[in-house]
């Protein structure tokens, strides 16, 4: 009887609470509907949805293009197009993806390759307000993956909600053509292909034109656009900085671990590759347009065969191979000048630039051979630096006083960091007055700390999305606190061209003489040429 009364009381309480429970289930932080988040663009009306008070639009087409042709404006539409999910991504080499395996890097990054289609010119927008006549800074994210892989939503922390909300900015990300679709120079095969060499970059220019034309309706300022991108994205931004076709389309640029080229691929090398691919496909001058209809897999396979053959031939001759792989080509249209040459620096003198790298980039994975065995590590250093081995180790401790583990001596980056310094020096010695340098040294505790400050490590911090990148960052309190500082710095730079923000010491502009560099870590600090001696030893004494 007592149990029966108890059950009856519980039922009565449940009945009384039922309206509140139903209301709680109906409440949502996502709103979508026919009349919600509607914006009129130059091509037609689009609708999105509202999530966490941020208006969100995904997969908006900014252009279309036939294969190997420059992008064109989108055909207008009359209805309201719902843009609530990510658009197509550029096709890529999935065999190359599988070759990476399912190792630590894949775990840390949680890659999502999307659905591929050649009609991939689309962008995503996150904004605190629409149709409100406000002029918020616009931040355009250009994804990494070299010039062959990646997309606007490949990594979970590319989501722009947090940046838009915390910084009152308009966040945009973009997809564009990559690999053989974006960088096959067919110019020798007819006038119709004269712009084919860099159509992947022409897509980015077209996206910028779309943004300038339409972003005011999304609450953004078309005269305050900041590009930021990492790895291949940083390389693409470098190309845009160097192209007269992008002149005036943006006001600020952040190059993150993207300074890996000292020059662009010579056209003769690109055309030699193209000729070999065309021959491999069995196409001749008379039927060259057939290349528009062969399958993507055939194109990709032909390119891989040609690259492999050219490398092998060069090795047999004892020669350096021509510049291979897909990427920007030095033509007389998109990239007519030397990289950061005099003409370029004069052209971009009013563009504020931030440039930097992470401390270890790919080095965290390079130390597994020696682990934390100091004897093996010293042997590896001696093999590489000979009689300067001890001098090298002293320079490491001087540059990074927190050096403790054996792996700390071998994990350092000597590719992206020197490239960033080289490009910054080119700019400032030729008169550019608003360049800022950073070095991200915070190390992840994930996987026994072996990730260190790996390539991409700063990204969850830039986007203030540490939780969305918990496999990379660990998701702890220290990471969240640093993310507020880093994302705040990027937001301030986008707002006024100066990255100084709360939580940082005074960050002064970079000069070749002083080398002011902001060190982002659990306790950030400004240092001057912090690793100059180390970089000089690595450059002059390395046997590789």
Q: Report, as residue numbers or ranges, the catalytic residues.
A: 231
User: What is the C-alpha to C-alpha distance for residues 393 and 389, in angstroms, rounded to an integer?
Assistant: 6
Strand, coil or helix: 332: coil
Q: Rounded to an integer, what is the distance from CA 190 to the centroid of its chain?
A: 34
User: What is the C-alpha to C-alpha distance for residues 453 and 359, in angstroms, rounded to an integer?
Assistant: 6
Contact between residue 459 and residue 157 where contact means Cβ atoms under 8 Å apart: yes
Give the E-state strand segments of 211-323 in sequence order.
220-230, 252-256, 265-266
Torsion angles phi and psi, residue 306, rounded to 5: -65, -45
User: What is the C-alpha to C-alpha distance for residues 390 and 382, in angstroms, rounded to an integer?
Assistant: 8
Q: How far is CA 407 from CA 242, 372, 412, in A?
A: 38, 6, 9
Contact between residue 205 and residue 246 where contact means Cβ atoms under 8 Å apart: yes
Q: Which of 409, 370, 408, 373 is nearest to 390 (CA)?
A: 409
User: What is the C-alpha to C-alpha distance for residues 420 and 422, in angstroms, rounded to an integer?
Assistant: 5
User: What is the C-alpha to C-alpha distance for residues 422 and 386, in angstroms, rounded to an integer?
Assistant: 26
User: What is the C-alpha to C-alpha distance for residues 110 and 157, in angstroms, rounded to an integer?
Assistant: 10
Strand, coil or helix: 116: strand
Residues 6+ apart with CB under 8 A from 394: none
Contact between residue 230 and residue 53 where contact means Cβ atoms under 8 Å apart: no
Strand, coil or helix: 522: coil
Residues 6+ apart with CB under 8 A from 197: 183, 184, 185, 187, 267, 270, 329, 331, 333, 334
Phi-psi bin for 52: left (phi > 0), alpha (psi -120 to 50), beta? left
Distance in angstroms between the alpha carbons of the first and the last residue of the chain: 85
* Residue 103: Cβ-neighbour burial (10 angstroms; 0-12, 13-18, 19+): exposed
Positive or negative, the Cα torsion across 96, 98, 104, 106? Answer: positive
Torsion angle in degrees (nearest 10) through CA of 66, 69, 72, 75 = -10
* Residue 485: Cβ-neighbour burial (10 angstroms; 0-12, 13-18, 19+): middle
Angle (CA) 216 217 221, round 5°? 15
User: What is the C-alpha to C-alpha distance for residues 229 and 161, in angstroms, rounded to an integer?
Assistant: 17
């Amino acid at each position: 009887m007592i149990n029966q009364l108890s059950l009856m009381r519980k039922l009565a309480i449940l009945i009384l609470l039922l309206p509140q429970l139903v209301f709680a289930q109906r409440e949502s932080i996502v709103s979508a509907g026919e009349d919600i988040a509607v914006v009129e663009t130059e091509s037609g009306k689009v609708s999105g949805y509202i999530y966490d008070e941020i208006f969100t639009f995904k997969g908006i087409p900014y252009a279309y293009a036939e294969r190997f042709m420059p992008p064109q404006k989108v055909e207008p539409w009359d209805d309201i197009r719902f843009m609530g999910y990510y658009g197509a991504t550029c096709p890529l080499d999935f065999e190359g993806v599988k070759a990476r395996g399912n190792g630590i890097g894949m775990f840390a990054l949680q890659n999502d390759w999307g659905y591929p289609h050649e009609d991939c010119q689309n962008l995503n927008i996150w904004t605190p307000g629409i149709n409100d006549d406000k002029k918020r800074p616009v931040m355009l994210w250009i994804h990494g993956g070299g010039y062959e892989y990646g997309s606007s939503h490949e990594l979970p922390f590319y989501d722009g909600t947090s940046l838009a909300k915390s910084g009152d900015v308009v966040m945009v990300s973009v997809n564009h053509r990559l690999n053989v679709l974006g960088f096959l120079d067919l110019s020798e095969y007819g006038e119709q292909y004269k712009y084919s060499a860099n159509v992947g970059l022409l897509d980015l220019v077209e996206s910028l034109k779309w943004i300038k034309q339409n972003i005011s309706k999304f609450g953004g300022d078309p005269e305050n656009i900041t590009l930021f991108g990492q790895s291949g994205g940083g390389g693409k931004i470098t190309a845009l900085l160097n192209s007269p076709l992008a002149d005036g389309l943006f006001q600020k640029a952040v190059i993150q671990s993207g300074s890996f080229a000292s020059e662009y691929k010579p056209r003769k090398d690109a055309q030699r590759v193209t000729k070999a691919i065309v021959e491999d496909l069995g196409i001749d001058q008379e039927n060259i347009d057939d290349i528009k209809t062969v399958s993507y897999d055939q194109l990709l396979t032909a390119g891989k065969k040609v690259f492999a053959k050219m490398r092998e031939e060069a090795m047999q001759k004892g020669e350096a191979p021509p510049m291979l792989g897909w990427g920007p080509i030095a033509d007389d249209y998109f990239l007519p000048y030397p990289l950061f040459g005099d003409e370029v620096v004069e052209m971009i003198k009013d563009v504020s630039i931030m440039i930097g790298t992470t401390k270890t980039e790919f080095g965290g994975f390079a130390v597994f051979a020696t682990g934390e065995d100091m004897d093996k590590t010293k042997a590896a250093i001696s093999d590489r630096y000979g009689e300067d081995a001890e001098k090298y180790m002293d320079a490491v401790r001087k540059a990074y006083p927190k050096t403790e583990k054996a792996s700390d001596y071998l994990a350092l980056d000597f590719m992206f960091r020197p490239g960033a310094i080289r490009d910054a020096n080119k700019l400032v010695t030729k008169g550019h007055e608003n360049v800022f340098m950073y070095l991200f040294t915070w190390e992840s505790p994930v996987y026994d700390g072996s990730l260190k400050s790996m390539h991409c490590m700063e990204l969850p911090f830039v986007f203030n999305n540490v939780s969305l990148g918990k496999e990379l960052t660990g998701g702890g309190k220290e990471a969240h606190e640093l993310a507020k500082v880093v994302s705040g710095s990027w937001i301030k730079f986008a707002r006024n061209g100066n990255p100084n923000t709360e939580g940082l010491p005074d960050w002064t502009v970079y000069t070749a003489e002083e080398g002011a560099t902001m060190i982002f870590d659990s306790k950030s600090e400004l240092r001057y040429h912090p690793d100059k001696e180390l970089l000089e030893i690595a450059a002059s004494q390395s046997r590789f």
